[in-house]
Structure 1
């Protein structure tokens, strides 16, 4: 008699316990990933919609020394995002001096350095990590350019300002060196007025235009900047470092680094709201002939003009923003700015 006659025949090959455990783990991991994606999807639906427009004018200069980058979605440059982040956007302007090599180098490399250093996975205190990432990115980009510049014969003496707007979901981080600037247009309810349309649609008597500075200028006439330059053994004459360089912080400018010119950016942070309309990011060519308030009001006036030319596949709002960006740059030249003018206009919609 076969002792095992009463045992049912196995219907399939038994799965080892270790494989069963592995399968269960995989299922749990897949569920977790689906849950995270679902959370990100929910987050993404409430994020501001950002669109970038750019206009560049050479002015009376022989060479265009400005450069710019617009990446409404930076995820293609990044290996992974932090778990709680759905989207990272990047917009930047670089105003070169002494040549176009420093501005071009920064435009080509800074966002790639940023992508490599950006936090990923499970993170605590994301704000602190993003700020450290920006500081490290600027230092690395400057060091890399100076290394390349010093290896040339003759040595490159180019330098560049840098103003970068990094938007992490709905949080804006601005890192800047030099005198290129970023400003935000926010529409607020006027005292005694109604709330106005959502997203800052109307101005009229109901809404008040508020211009928020998102960056800080660095030039040798500012007390703290001048003191640092003098402590390093440099001098400030006629508002310039050694009587030559107009900015006190920059990428490149190797010959001035020993005189207190640094590549450490100022960092500012601002959370976007449904009242925000747009960000203007521009080199000093624009701000030599426009105050920040004037530039914001100029853009608003173009956005509110009556009829616009309709174009296939482009919304009326996009046509208006494109026109506003182009007209702002052209008006700077018309007002007599002989410098290069580069303007990035970032529309904000909720």
Structure 2
């Protein structure tokens, strides 16, 4: 819907000139000058109304933008016991500069993503560098209808394009690159959230809801925003088998742990695809924060444990303040860093990358 559809049309000052009755004598010069001045005044009034209407629209759009959720991202990355850091991440609280022309009804676009590489770091880094660029290039522009449908199509096209571009580059190398990567990406268009994922990286939301007792207290709800893709899932296994692949020991051909990914060119003929699962919903004033993380976190934390861990730190009054950060920002930064460190302390030997995104209105 257009941002200004609900607004009443402003009163227009007519610019048309009513013809005067024909007189027997020619009109005097003075009368002609007065008529010209009257016409000029009418035209000036019309221009003034048009400018005023434009200013009103800009002011309303500014007010609407101020009512949108304010997102701030924090990231923590740990190499763990791996020889190489194969994760990659992107934080773009304001992605508008990457889009050539935002639709009139859109005020702000934000993007956050985590990529968990395997077989090397090249696929994850490539996706981190190119996925949001491709998404921005395909993002709907102009006065667009069916915005939701177009954004969803944009996601699917972008994932396919990014995968194809990496596979072309990988196959041109000697020896051929065999890297692959999961992906969990979150795009926020004003207050609408689009979460797309491949593989076993995950996104969860902490939403505060009133308790059933009606005592004014609120409790934290943990909402899963992604669907894992592994070969043991029935639909994933059937697709792999129809493509001529096999699942052994819970892995594609007994090797690959995920059934959807970027890269992994040697498994694409076996039914491993790059089509994401995509979920959408609207941010509410009850939403507290998002967690996007690779499976290194969730090997040692359940989603609920991770949310409660963050909440406990956010309520900790003893968190050390940091220069340049507000008290709340310092707590979110501490929560993100401590969550990643705790995953390593609990024995996760994998790379761990955590993105924590605060929500404020």
TM-score normalised to structure 1 length: 0.89
Pick the aligned partner of 2:140 from 119, 141, 146.
119
CA contact under 8 A between 2:319 and 2:334: conserved in structure 1? Answer: no
Contact 1:286 1:342 in 2 (8 A): yes
For normalisation by structure 2, the TM-score amounts to 0.86
Q: Indicate which of 145, 159, 168 corresponds to 1:138.
A: 159
For 1:194 and 1:38, locate their aligned partners in 2 and report how far apart those are by CA, in whole Å.
39
Deviation of 1:171 after TM superposition, in Å, equals 1.0
**3-state SS of paired residue (1:218):** coil
Runs of 4+ in structure 1 deviating by more than 6 angstroms, as ranges, are 23-29
Confirm whether residue 331 of structure 1 aligns to residue 342 of structure 2: yes
Partner of 1:341: 352
The question of whether the paired residues in 2 share the 8 Å contact of 1:90 and 1:164 is answered with yes
Equivalent position SS for 1:305: coil
Instruction: Indicate the structure (1 or 2) with the bigger Cα radius of gyration.
Output: 2
Q: 1:166-213 deviations in whole A, cap 9, x for unaligned?
A: 011111110000000000000100111333xxxxxxxxxx11211000
Q: Closer, same or farther in 2 for the Cα pair 1:209/1:254, shift >3 Å?
A: same
Partner-residue secondary structure (3-state), 1:144:
helix
**Structure 2: stretches of 5+ with no match in the other structure:** 1-25, 37-42
Q: Does 1:297 align with 2:318?
A: no
Say yes or no: does 1:129 pair with 2:140: no
> Deviation per CA, 1:127-158, whole angstroms, max 9, x where unpaired?
11111111111011001101111111111110
For these two proteins, the number of residue pairs brought into alignment is 330
TM-fit CA distance, 1:46: 1.0
Offset of residue 30 of structure 1:
5.7
Which whole-Å CA distance do the structure 1 matches of 2:349 and 2:258 have between them? 18
Residues 259-338 of structure 1 correspond to what in structure 2 (within 5 A)? 259-338=270-349
CA deviation vs aligned residue, 1:251-300 (integer Å, no higher than 9, x gap): 11111000000000000012111111100000000000000000000000
Distance (Å, rounded) in 2 between the aligned partners of 1:182 and 1:33: 40
Structure 1 residue 28 displacement after superposition: 8.0
Specify the alignment match of 1:203 in structure 2: none
Q: 1:108 aligns with which of 129, 133, 139?
A: 129
Inter-partner Cα distance in structure 1 for 2:159 and 2:142: 23
8 Å CA contact retained: 1:232, 1:258: yes
Which of residues 221, 227, 240 is equivalent to 2:238? Answer: 227
Change over 3 Å in CA distance of 1:91–1:234 after alignment to 2: same
The correspondence for 2:82, drawn from 61, 76, 95, is 61
Shift of 1:84: 1.0
User: 1:306 offset after TM fit, Å?
Assistant: 2.3
RMSD: 2.3
User: Is the 8 Å Cα contact of residues 193 and 207 (structure 1) preserved in structure 2?
Assistant: no
Which of 77, 81, 85 is 2:106 aligned to?
85
Q: In the aligned structure 2, how far is the partner of 1:122 from the partner of 1:28?
A: 23
